[in-house]
Amino acid sequence: MSSFLEDFVGGLGAEPVLGFTYVKKKVQIISDIFSSSMVTTTCGDGEAEMECRDQRAAFQLKMAAMCIILFASIAGVALPLLGRRQRLLRTDGNVFFVAKAFAAGVILATGFVHMLPDSSTALTDPCLPSVFSKFPFSGFVAMFASLITLVVDFVATQYYERKHEKEEGARVSTVMEDGEVVVVGTEEEGNGVGEKRVGDFGEKNGMHIVGMHAHAAAHRHSHPHGHHSCEDTTHEHTRKLVGHAHTHSGHEDVESNVRHVVVSQVLEVGIVSHSMIIGLSVGVSQSPCTIRPLIAALSFHQFFEGFALGGCISQAEFKRLSTSLMASFFSITTPVGIGIGTAISSVYNTNSPRALVVEGIFDAISAGILVYMALVDLIAADFLSKRMSCNTRLQVCSYLALFLGATLMSLLAIWA
């Protein structure tokens, strides 16, 4: 039967694209990836690590790394959460804005300079099947990770917007303000009495989540542009009815809150995924020469990633339980990864071909998520906002902080 099928397909002239020989080759490549030799074989880097192998010293360094990184993670994520009521660290203050720009630079460099090259190195190792050297899998996986993150970002934003619309519609009520009846809902332009209709929220204030649309679309609806766009619009609002101005401001706050909710959750997923991989890499290593420089690098990295995440959580205004869970989950991920890696280090060959493939793919996924979040939801959203364009001093400080954060995190690649 198989002989007949081979002759049939070959007779159609489909060889080698649809021929069985071609298919067999591809199946053989896939089976090679999951074969036992992919686990037991040790690739070249293992010899270099063996020269500095000291299991006892490595274990002591791992325990120290767990404590130091845990402290750095807690300090980073807690700083904006606990300091949001302090004038210096309020999420609407310039100091927080500049610090967040620095943290965004750190995250961007983590994706481009650390995760993506590590993925490329792992997936192009000579001991892997030849298919890995013929196609840039690291860039391909990172690209799709970014695109999938975009889809998740968009779908989550739409979900939270619709959820809020339903909640708002369920509790629509009438109140008396200065003798006028005001319906709490979405504003209706030009109605003359400040009356609003609930059904227009999604149509008139649809939120764009990429690039300058993330912030510009919301301001374009009602604020002036050009030379006077940075002037105080308070007088303009006071000329309108109280109900109109109040509801307009409320809807901008709702849109902003929805974005912060989505950004904080997607950012946590990206950070946690690569933090676990990094923790496992440290845990399975038996080389003090490898672990020692990683402690300082990871502490710096976790602190500022935690600061960016903590700032987004603070801006999202989650309930206390949700805030605590998200902050705790981020803080323990890398130490837990180190602990798991330490536990399996005796049976896990970090330099096996299969380990290289798994590590390379996860590094590429993490790189794609982090690059997207850094560029779109942290850098573009803030740097293309009206607040930035109207404050020259803030512009200069934020750009300096962004480049400084990216540069310092990139320089850490020399040692780790």
Dmax of the chain from CA atoms? 89
Residue with tokens 């009520």: 173
Q: Which of 165-169, 312-316, 375-379 has the lowest mean pLDDT?
A: 165-169
Query: Using one digit for the tens of pLDDT, what is the confidence trace for 324-355?
Result: 999 999 999 999 999 999 999 888 887 788 88
Question: Can you give the pLDDT at residue 330?
Answer: 95
Amino acid in the structure at residue 295: I
Mean pLDDT along residues 262-281: 88
Angstrom CA distances, 313 to 77, 206, 257, 316, stand at: 9, 23, 10, 5
Whether pLDDT at 155 is above 50: yes
Whether pLDDT at 138 is above 90: yes
Question: Can you give the pLDDT at residue 54?
Answer: 85
Mean pLDDT along residues 98-102: 93
Mean pLDDT along residues 60-89: 89
- How does 365-376 read in b/e, with b if 16+ C-beta sit within 10 Å? bbbbbbbbbbbb
Question: 174: which strand partners?
Answer: 183
Sign, Cα dihedral of 151, 157, 158, 160: positive
Average predicted confidence (pLDDT) for the chain = 76
Whether pLDDT at 235 is above 90: no
Q: Looking at per-residue confidence, does 275 or 247 come out higher?
A: 275
Where do the structural domains in the chain lie, given as residue ranges? 55-164+257-414, 170-251
How many of the other CB atoms lie within 10 Å of CB of 396? Answer: 11
How many of the other CB atoms lie within 10 Å of CB of 9? Answer: 18
